[in-house]
C-alpha cells in the first residue's frame, strides 16, 4: 500500500519543520488513533543529520475475531527517523514493538517553502503488511484471520500518516 498526502500549512517552513522534528508529541490531539508519542532517542550525526526514535502508542478497537492474538500494545510502533535539515526532509522506517516483521513501512517526508508564510508538507510512505507473521496465531487460523489483521494495521497506520498535514494545520490554528 502506498500512502501519500500533500498539505499546505499557513506557517513558515522553519516553524513547521521544527514542530514536527522537535515537538511531534504536541500533535497527538490532532492525530486519529494515537494515544501518545514518546521521544526515546535523539542523536546528532557527523553529517549533521539528526536521528530520532519515537514510540507511537495507538488506541484502537480490536475486532473480536483477533482479540485473542492481538493486544492493544501490539499495534504501537517505533518510528526511526533521520532528519536532514539541509533539505528539510525526513527518512523513516516504522516497525511494530512486538513483531518486527508484521509490517514494513518506509518513507520520506518533505517540507518546502511556498512563499514566506506557507509550507508544503508531502508525506510518502510504502507499507507492506504480513499478517500471517503475527506471533501465536496457529497456522490453520492464519489464512482466515489474515484479512482482519491486514485491515486493522491499515486502519491504524494509514490515517495517522496521511492525517499528519491536517493535524499540523489544526495545531497551528489552535495555538
Contact 28, 34 (CB under 8 A): yes
Contact 25, 39 (CB under 8 A): yes
Sketch out the chain's domains with CATH numbers.
Answer: 2-174 (3.30.530.20)
Give every CB contact of residue 41 below 8 A, 6+ residues apart in sequence.
Answer: 51, 52, 53
- CA–CA separation, 168 and 81 (whole Å): 18
Contact 79, 54 (CB under 8 A): yes
Rounded mean pLDDT, 54-74:
73
Confidence of residue 147 (pLDDT cuts 50, 70, 90): confident
Please report the pLDDT score of residue 68 as a whole number.
67
Percent of the chain with pLDDT over 70: 80
Please report the pLDDT score of residue 144 as a whole number.
74
Please report the pLDDT score of residue 120 as a whole number.
97
Integer angstrom CA distances of residue 80 from 21, 42, 164: 12, 10, 17
pLDDT digits 0-9 by tens, 19-43 = 999 999 999 999 888 889 999 999 9
pLDDT digits 0-9 by tens, 131-144 = 677 777 777 776 77
- CA–CA separation, 80 and 40 (whole Å): 10
Please report the pLDDT score of residue 170 as a whole number.
93
More confident residue, 45 or 75: 45
Q: What is the mean pLDDT of the chain?
A: 85
- CA–CA separation, 9 and 110 (whole Å): 13
- In whole angstroms, what separates CA 141 from the centre of its chain? 29
Rounded mean pLDDT, 43-67:
85
Amino acid at each position: 500500500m502506498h500512502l501519500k498526502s500533500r498539505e499546505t500549512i499557513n506557517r513558515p517552513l522553519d516553524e513547521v519543520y521544527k514542530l514536527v522534528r522537535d515537538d511531534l508529541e504536541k500533535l497527538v490531539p490532532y492525530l486519529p488513533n494515537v494515544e501518545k508519542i514518546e521521544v526515546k532517542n535523539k542523536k546528532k550525526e557527523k553529517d549533521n543529520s539528526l536521528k530520532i526514535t519515537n514510540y507511537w502508542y495507538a488506541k484502537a478497537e480490536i475486532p473480536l475475531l483477533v482479540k485473542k492474538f492481538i493486544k492493544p500494545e501490539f499495534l504501537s510502533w517505533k518510528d526511526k527517523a533521520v532528519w536532514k535539515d539541509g533539505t528539510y526532509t525526513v527518512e523513516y522506517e516504522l516497525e511494530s514493538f512486538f513483531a518486527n516483521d508484521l509490517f514494513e513501512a518506509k518513507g520520506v517526508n518533505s517540507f518546502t517553502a511556498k512563499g514566506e508564510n506557507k509550507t508544503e508538507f508531502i508525506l510518502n510512505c510504502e507499507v507492506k503488511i504480513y499478517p500471517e507473521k503475527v506471533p501465536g496465531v496457529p497456522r490453520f487460523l492464519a489464512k482466515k484471520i489474515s484479512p482482519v489483521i491486514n485491515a486493522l494495521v491499515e486502519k491504524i497506520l494509514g490515517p495517522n500518516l496521511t492525517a499528519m498535514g491536517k493535524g499540523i494545520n489544526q495545531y497551528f490554528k489552535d495555538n
